[in-house]
Amino acid sequence: MSSAHEASARATAVATLGETIPTDAEVTPLDGRRWGMVIDLDRCTGCQACVVACQAENNIAINEENRVLERRAKTWIRIERYWEGEFPNAKARFIPVLCQHCGNAPCETVCPVWATYHNPEGLNVQVYNRCIGTRFCANGCPYSVRYFNFWNPEWPEPLNNQLNPDVTVRTKGIIEKCTFCLQRINRARVTSKNEDREIADGEVQPACVQSCPTTALVFGDLNDPSTTASRLAESERRYTLLENFGTDPSVVYLKKVDPHVEIDHHHGHHAETAGKHA
Amino acid sequence: MQEPVIADNKTANRELLDFVFSWPKWFFLVGGALNGLIVAGFLVVVVMLWFGLQFLGYSHPVYWGFLIVNFVFWIGVSHAGIMVSAILRLTQAEWRRPVTRAAEVLTIFSLLTAVQFPLIHSGRPWRTMYWTFPYDWNRGAWPNPRSPLVWDPSAIFTYLTSTILFVYVALIPDLALARDRAPNPISRAIYGVLAMGFRGSTRQWRIQAIAGILLSAIILPIFVSVHSIVSWDFAVTSVPGWHNTIFAPYFVIGAVHSGVSAVVTVMIVMRYAFGLKRYITRDHIDSLARLLIVVATVWLFFFMLDLFFGLYGTEPAEVDTWQRRLIEPPWIVLAIIFIFTAYLIPVPMWMFRSVRRNFFLMFVTTILVNIGMWIERYMVVVPALERKSGLTFTYGDYAPSLSEIILVIASFGLVILGFLTFAKLLPIMPAADIKEGQILADRIKVGRANVPAAMRE
């Protein structure tokens, strides 16, 4: 789906713009890879370790209390908490939501300056230098995972010393979002190239995946059937978020197993709560 | 409707050019006040450039609000000029004559004001050139032709260029008139250059008339395209409440509704401000009001279609958006104000001849329409963003900040000041056109028959 879409978009672009756009092969030797993530909601405890790790890894501005209250806090990955049932039998359900790196992304088509585009490895990439801040992409995104910089971020001493040198600090007036820790993918690519081998499964771990105490998050190449991520993505509990938008996300969720609900093994899905999250 | 003969050539020339050559005191007072508004808006823009957009009311996930609403509103008002001039010219509606220039000038200044808004509302406006002018198209770096925000500048600048051309072609005989009557040599020289040597020979008149008719015909598709493309800013996204195929015609007819209403408002103000009681009569306002009844009703039809398409699909997100727009407080208050001001109050009133021929009532009702249409755009843009998808965790609210309100008010100041400046420097009443109408209305006796004095173009 993703590569066919990519190819047709490229054909159109080449027809319009001439043979000036580099082909996939010129851009990258790693053709056919699709980075993706599997999130097992049965393991997720909603501890927010991923949120903190992401904040530290990606130089995300400090979310002070009033920033949160005015709904301008930036959280590239956020834990959405939903209550189920009535008190006292209420249950909290957690779902980590990050950029879904859609194969058919609504944000990419609407950006007037190509600040967001799909790279050949299936990542939805935000090019900060191009972004002019129309915020059209943020409106188009059904997951609301794109965040706008209303001001220049500031880190008081000594917090500025812990900024990650591999990640751009975003200026005011542009959109930012989850990159699947692109800097870590690039580091793994360089290391593996120097050692003359392919990137191993599990070698790339975004900060959220690395910090998850229950290994609810698994990252890997979804196009390679041998990786842990793609094996988990085949689970009968799999679903993608807001499937009806047809966005073809690269993030696969595994439905929470509810011990109180009978499982209909013949049909391979839960009898009562099937599709509740999807 | 045939125009009655109202004045001989000499009186018409004097009265129609009166404001250009006189300096009434109120011009400076009003101009100064409008400049004050514009300076306030300018200060807000400077602050926005310096500190980012933090003083606006946007938050996650509502990233568009008042400024985009205002953009759509002014683009809508700009549809008046071509509707009145081009369509009425092609259909040979005689009563259009005194109305045309004002409507076209309103188009120019509301377009110029409208284009400011997406620019100042973007995060890094100093990079606008990359977006609006594809200077680096050959390398494929900028911009993205799939984005409606790239279609927008193309459509709007085409419309702006062709409207300015249209106004200029119609202006040439009047500029020649101003040249001939200018009191001092400097303004005589300036009008002379602008009039491009127009002497009123038969050949010059023919070229001018043909150019006007051709431009009227060519401009019509652009007229339809502009607001269609503005509507696609919303319709091509997957946001429930925006994602709607009816949006393009709905926006266009809504634009004509608010635009023609604005023209009526402006005409009535002009009648008193510029002393044009003889030229802008009850007949003209009556005709515009009859046009408005049709336009408003078609607009209501499209609004209902938008609603029914949303409900007929029974898609929960879409139905929720409509429920929020129309029924849930506090939106229900806006919805009631909107439907009453945009349709339920004015249109039944316009059905009565006595209302249509009453300047005060027409002034009030057309102002009401534009209040309603502003709210309509607000109801299209904001509630949909506040409830964008099934992820209830990200639901947000929007309220405009003081900065946005100042900018919206300043935009009104900018349009009015532009209009006033134009009227001060150039003839706002199409003197040549009006006199042509007079000649067509003149009748002579041939034998016993009483026949028109001139043949139509």
Kindly state whether A16 is in contact with chain B, defined as any CB-CB distance less than 8 angstroms: yes
- Paired residues of A91 in beta bridges: A84
Average pLDDT, chain B: 87
Taking an 8 Å cut-off on Cβ atoms, the answer to whether B131 and A174 are in contact is no
Show Cβ contacts of residue B294 under 8 Å, excluding neighbours closer than 6 positions.
none
> Alpha-carbon distance B76 to B375, whole Å?
13
- Which of chain B's residues have a Cβ under 8 Å away from the Cβ of A130? 130, 142
Q: What is the pLDDT of residue B3?
A: 58
Residue % of chain B over a pLDDT of 70:
95
Which of residues 108 through 127 in chain A touch B, CB cutoff 8 A? 109-114
In angstroms, what separates the C-alpha of A64 from chain B's closest C-alpha?
Answer: 14
- Range scoring the smallest mean pLDDT among A53-67, B138-152, B359-373: B138-152
- Which of chain A's residues have a Cβ under 8 Å away from the Cβ of B139? 20
Nearest residue of chain A to residue B58 (CA atoms): A72
**Structure-block tokens of residue B126:** 């100093």
Average pLDDT, chain A: 84
Look at B440 and A51; give whichever has higher pLDDT.
A51
User: Pick from B63, B130, B140: which is nearest to A139 by CB?
Assistant: B63
Angle at B73 (CA atoms; ends B63, B95), nearest 5 degrees: 170
| pLDDT reading at A274 higher than 50 | no
Provide the number of CB pairs (under 8 Å) joining chain A to chain B.
150
> Alpha-carbon distance B142 to B133, whole Å?
9
Taking an 8 Å cut-off on Cβ atoms, the answer to whether A72 and B142 are in contact is no
Q: Best of B63, B66, B115, B321 to disrupt the A interface by mutation (most A CBs within 10 Å)?
A: B63
Taking an 8 Å cut-off on Cβ atoms, the answer to whether A17 and B140 are in contact is yes
Taking an 8 Å cut-off on Cβ atoms, the answer to whether B237 and A172 are in contact is no
**For the domain that residue B109 is a member of, what is the CATH number?**
1.20.1630.10
For residue B212, which of B158, B169, B171 has the smallest C-alpha distance? Answer: B169
Show Cβ contacts of residue B269 under 8 Å, excluding neighbours closer than 6 positions.
B363
Kindly state whether A138 is in contact with chain B, defined as any CB-CB distance less than 8 angstroms: yes
Determine the longest span between alpha carbons in chain B, in angstroms: 86
Q: What is the pLDDT of residue B34?
A: 94
- Which of chain B's residues have a Cβ under 8 Å away from the Cβ of A131? 123-124
Please give the CATH architecture assigned to the domain spanning A2-258: 2-Layer Sandwich (3.30)
SS3 labels along A103-156: CCCHHHHHCCCCCEEECCCCCEEECCCCCCCCCHHHHHCCCCCCEECCCCCCCC
User: Pick from A16, A97, A111: which is nearest to B391 by CB?
Assistant: A97
Kindly state whether A144 is in contact with chain B, defined as any CB-CB distance less than 8 angstroms: yes
Taking an 8 Å cut-off on Cβ atoms, the answer to whether B236 and A130 are in contact is no
- Which of chain A's residues have a Cβ under 8 Å away from the Cβ of B392? 82
- What integer is the mean pLDDT of B241-251? 91
For residue B422, which of B171, B195, B229 has the smallest C-alpha distance? Answer: B171
Per-residue pLDDT tens for B153-207? 889 999 999 999 999 998 999 999 888 888 889 989 999 999 998 998 899 999 9
Per-residue pLDDT tens for A175-192? 999 999 999 999 999 999
In angstroms, what separates the C-alpha of B111 from chain A's closest C-alpha?
Answer: 19
Angle at A136 (CA atoms; ends A78, B326), nearest 5 degrees: 85
Give pTM, 2 decimals. 0.89
- Which of chain B's residues have a Cβ under 8 Å away from the Cβ of A72? 54, 59-60
Within a domain: residue B273?
A: yes
Taking an 8 Å cut-off on Cβ atoms, the answer to whether A132 and B130 are in contact is yes
| pLDDT reading at A276 higher than 50 | no
Rounded to the nearest 10°, the torsion over CA B206, B212, B217, B218 is 110
Taking an 8 Å cut-off on Cβ atoms, the answer to whether B53 and A148 are in contact is yes
- Structural domain count of chain B: 1
| pLDDT reading at B431 higher than 70 | yes
Model ipTM?
0.87
| pLDDT reading at B239 higher than 60 | yes
Taking an 8 Å cut-off on Cβ atoms, the answer to whether A82 and B124 are in contact is no
Return the domain boundaries, chain A: 2-258
| pLDDT reading at A260 higher than 80 | no
Range of the domain at B292: 9-452
| pLDDT reading at A144 higher than 80 | yes
Per-residue pLDDT tens for B210-226? 998 898 888 888 888 99
